[in-house]
Structure 1
Amino acid sequence: MSPTAAAGDALPGGVTVFDDQHPGVANLGPDLLRALRAATADAAGDGVELRVNGGWRSPAYQDRLLREAVARHGSAEEAARWVATPDRSAHVSGEAVDIGPAGSAAWLSEHGARYGLCQIYRNEPWHFELRPEAVDGGCPPMYADPTHDPRLSTRAARPG
């Protein structure tokens, strides 16, 4: 598969926040990327390597992940606990990153607020988003899963 065809698809293993050749990293929001790079440098000082398991995604790839989740979980309602629709996904907008391995995500969950990086969903310990206010006030309470996030509600108001 050519790099163009794979743009926005799954990242290969071992990708870091410094690997700009991957659209999954390069297309993250600039403030999110700056915060991730600062956290990654500090984590390395603690002997922890933060890797990007998922970053920016194309709408087509997000849709494929959603269809796979529906097949795996048996319903759209259950799949919504794990995968957002392309029009509501923070990954598609470049505002979310999935960090691994588990120990690295745990490091970021513990130290991320100082960079404005917060775990958003209790059921997804790898998923982080930028919350700049967390630097001073700590991360907001987590949602149990994406179905509790008002930003993802199908009843949320849509512009125009």
Structure 2
Amino acid sequence: MTRTRFVVASLIAVGLTVVVALITAALGGRPGGVGEADGVVPDGVTVFDDSYPAVSRLDPALLKALRRAARAAADDGVTFHVNSGWRSPAYQEQLLREATAKYGSAREAARWVAGPTTSLHVKGAAVDLGGSDATQWLSEHGAAYGLCQIYRNEPWHYELRAHAADGGCPDMYADATQDPRLRR
């Protein structure tokens, strides 16, 4: 290949990369076109950021419990960052496709991501919190607010169990495949 052809081919490749990046950004920042309106959250979102549907579309009782716990955790210097909360069915489907590609099979992906018809995120009944300090704080204090880790393999995934304040959180499932609520 001549030097001129190499330069032209390189410029075309760079140009195509830029075009793909621009289209992805225009579609909401993720391939597939889902964005904040579907529940995608940027870094730094907290349980108090109502401008994001991932937070504002959570079940009101779950959100109230999260905010009560977050205020108490703040006294200990801990902030609850929302990595994921409510999700649209389209976003959930995309996450399932990505997990299937990552883990090599639908069966293995199901340990980590539910389908859009069974996901508690789509119903606004689950939240994934970021920061090991937040999940550590919740593992010690969450039951008092009715917030329980549900899956042993997902220390970031919390749901509301109002009775937990009296009797503690229920036993965890090993992973989502053991959860009878997620079976079709």
- Global fold match (TM > 0.5): yes
List aligned pairs for 1:1-160, cutoff 5 A.
1=26, 6-154=36-184
Which amino acid is the alignment partner of residue 15 of structure 1? V
Identity between Structure 1 and Structure 2 (%):
63
> Judging changes above 3 Å, is the alpha-carbon distance between structure 1 residues 111 and 7 closer, same or farther for their aligned structure 2 residues?
same
| Alpha-carbon displacement from aligned partner over 1:119-145 (angstroms, at most 9, x marks no partner) | 000000000000001010000000000
Determine the C-alpha separation between the residues in 2 that align with 1:121 and 1:2: 32
The count of aligned residue pairs is: 154
Determine the C-alpha separation between the residues in 1 that align with 2:39 and 2:161: 25
Say which one has the larger Rg.
Answer: 2
| SS of equivalent residue, structure 1 residue 7 | helix
Cα deviation for residue 6 of structure 1 reads: 3.1
Determine the C-alpha separation between the residues in 1 that align with 2:89 and 2:183: 18
Determine the C-alpha separation between the residues in 1 that align with 2:146 and 2:128: 15
Which amino acid is the alignment partner of residue 107 of structure 2? E
So what's the TM-score if we normalise by structure 1?
0.93
So what's the TM-score if we normalise by structure 2?
0.81
| SS of equivalent residue, structure 1 residue 17 | coil
Which amino acid is the alignment partner of residue 39 of structure 1? A
Determine the C-alpha separation between the residues in 1 that align with 2:170 and 2:182: 17
The runs of 5 or more residues in structure 2 that have no matched partner are: 1-25, 29-33
The runs of 5 or more residues in structure 1 that have no matched partner are: 155-160
Determine the C-alpha separation between the residues in 2 that align with 1:98 and 1:5: 17
Query: RCO (CA 8 Å, sep 6+): is it higher in 1 or 2?
Result: 1
> Judging changes above 3 Å, is the alpha-carbon distance between structure 1 residues 123 and 5 closer, same or farther for their aligned structure 2 residues?
closer
For the aligned residues, what is the CA RMSD? 1.4
Cα deviation for residue 47 of structure 1 reads: 0.8
Determine the C-alpha separation between the residues in 1 that align with 2:103 and 2:27: 31
> Judging changes above 3 Å, is the alpha-carbon distance between structure 1 residues 5 and 128 closer, same or farther for their aligned structure 2 residues?
closer
Determine the C-alpha separation between the residues in 2 that align with 1:9 and 1:140: 28
Q: Which runs of 4+ in 1 moved over 6 A?
A: none
